[in-house]
Structure 1
Amino acid sequence: MSDEGLIDSLRAAHGAAAAAQAAEVFAVRELYRRHRATSAEPGPGGVRAGEFAAAEAAVALYVDEGTAGALIDIGLVLEEALPRTRAAFAAGRIDLAKVRVIVDSTRALTKEVVGALEPRLLEAAARTNPARLRQAARRWAHRLDPAGAQRRRERRQDDRDVRIRAVQDSMAVFDGLLPAPGAQTVAMRLREMSLQVCAADPRTMPQRRADALVALADGSGRLRCHCGRGERCPKTGAPAQPPRGPLIQIGIAAESLLDMREAPAFLAGYGPIDAALARLLAEHAQFQVVPEHSNTDGGVTEEAARRRVGREIRAVDGMCRFPGCTIPAAEAELTRSGSGLAVLCSRHHRLKSLADKRKQRWRVWRADRDRMQWTAPNGDVHTTGREGARYLFPHTDIALPAARTVDGQDFSSISGPPRVAAGSAEPSPFTADRPTGEDLLYPLDGHIPLHRQLSRIAPEDDIPDDVTTDQA
């Protein structure tokens, strides 16, 4: 079998698995409906309609009742409100993870908005993975129903929590649900602390983040290097930094900042947030004005870019320009791409460098000012755009679905072909697009790779090269 044939076989197998997932969802939903038809006993102490359907399914499938209940809920929503998504799921064109994104993203929206949003989400789902699909769905929902977005955000904040769950081998899982700005504040602070050690430190990036969290809690506030070189370590004697608020970056259109419109803002490392929250955070922010048209391409040296336009390029790109990577631009590197500059995380910067030297079968080129194209080894072409520009300049977001009117506003003129970059990676353990429990199809949450070379395979776990340290 050729490489291309192997990829086709992989896609066919994934489609078959998705169709099987659909059959499972529809079966457990039907079980629930039958329970409802036979177990309704109103009054105190009576059996509420369908309340034990999840228990029966959980016992049959050896899963927890929460998972079974979620499958029932998804099945009911598909039947009641999302007929197109139901058909695509049954045909194996989208899998359970993407269905969950669509269900979550359309909940509490008006019927008119859902009617405009669902077809575009299905088109986007064919070319992207769940995390990036969720970002696109949130952005479009914010634009089509800005008042509803603020209400949902305020209601959701009541669910914030931090939890500790014991697991085997004297370990515990520490996780929680936080408002996005607070979560990104924690994530960025842990990222900063993880880079306080030299490149010879033997810990992986996940291990560094974990140790940094403990250092925050015990009051030391600094991650000590474990390279074992003592005074020869280039990080030895680094002065302790005074406490401060770690940087989080938010891109917002000027009209939204001035309360003249309600286009969503972009929180780096997370995605869209409603304009009201962005304005609230802006009360304590430092500002940088980013013009829509400026000379950020062509004839600009790397050094000049760092001095003059580095921040601007990061603001407009928003995140790593590799297909689907969601590493924030603030954590990424500027790289030359054709006649211009772009932002890539350390892992995908190395991939592009190797591809440019013909040491990798990937091919990368700049289609125009805004688009980068990546050709995978199997021949598939993926196009990425400047994600930050969608929020800084909302009129350029041509992928917004068209709806007639929402809350008296006319959206009928906003249309165009969808442009959603393919694929995604989890931005960080604190902003990851995943349920609180294990995924039913891929129960790999918390898995520690047996082979050490796999510990840095995810972009957020990559350790940037430290040239100075390597030479020390």
Structure 2
Amino acid sequence: MTALVDATIEQVDALAALTGMLVDVDRTIGQLQAVRDGILATASRLALQVADEAGHEDFGDLSTRTVAAELGAALRVSDRTVQRRMAEASFLVERFPRVWQAQGAGRISAGHARVIVEAGEHLDDAADRDAYSEQIIGFAETESPNRVGRMARRVAERFQPRGLDDRHKDARTKRRIWVNDRPDGMAELGMHGPAALIHGAYDRITAMGRALQTGSCVPTGASFGPAATGDSATEPDVVPDARTFDEIRCDLALDMLLTGAPAGHDTPEGLLAAITAAVSVTVPVLSLAGVDSTPAELNGRCPIDDATAKALVGAASGWDRVLTHPVTGGVLAVDRYRPSADLRRHLQARDQRCRFPGCGMPARDSDLDHTIDHAFGGETTDANLGALCRRHHVLKHHTPWHVEHLDGGVYSWTSPTGQIYIDRPPPVNTVTFTEAPDEPEPPF
């Protein structure tokens, strides 16, 4: 059967028109993204110009943060995200102007520009970058970004003044891990490191997964493991392993990360091996009792399933009890059966994350900041304290950003340009009630 063999001439013409429209729209989007990069790069230069003229000793770091905070608050985006975009835009516009101009002219897309810049980011000489850009742009006009990326790395290598060994030594300093929350109580853990080690780890996990899958069965109640063998009267019951190969590899990796000891990096006292994972879970008591279906939340970040929440609650040595208003949901008090810093727990439960607009840094990893400095008479109460991550704590004290603490834990931030942004405490994961309307009395 040939696809579209039964299509009419009008339908084929309509498809051709749609294709042309899509190409035009996609080209326009790429051009607008280039315009946005130009604006972000200009904002970055403005921040650096202010710092240079004022002789700032931090080489424009706080000025850049201030500008990024202004833009981020206006866009309702984290200022960290905006500052990262400013840096990426400046890198493209200033170091690869030919690539930026080609994107602005609609010759290549933003995806093409990204892979070209990534492949040539280590070219320090401006003439080499221009020559490299000129060669690869022509190729990019007729090929997809994934093909351009492979060719770009090959072309860039011709202009590299330094050997791969030296560049790899520098690149190793950028190794890191990160986490991204996903729907349905899931999350992603990413890692950036030396290719040989990453592929080696992946191959080892894969080999372990194959070994388990070959056994095809696991002991009852076990999360993974080879099939039991030997005397069935003394061995645990076995059940077929219904997990997919990817599920098995994921379970193996998480088990080793959560319970394995770092053989090559532990301290002489074995301190690293003694460290265990710690998470915070907020569970409405009615959900815990099975009366309500409101899901639990992990670290104030994402919902998790009931089975996981109950397992974590059951294994906890102590609970923070967050008392909330049954109608408004506001935090009334936080207490615990064991003595601890009540006010700190109350603020962490109320704020959940940094109180700067758009910031998602957890409150437990943030500073407790006096809105009115203690040195100027500010009280150490929940009406004058709130969570600010170190980045925004510094921003508050050393830039023109100003904050006022209003009733109910509401923060009012005023930006350097006079814009006001309101940040309210995030709603607590709880259950609220409304009163039923009074029923009219029956007539007599």
State the TM-score, normalized to the length of structure 2: 0.42
Q: Which has the higher contact order (CA 8 A, sep 6+)?
A: 1
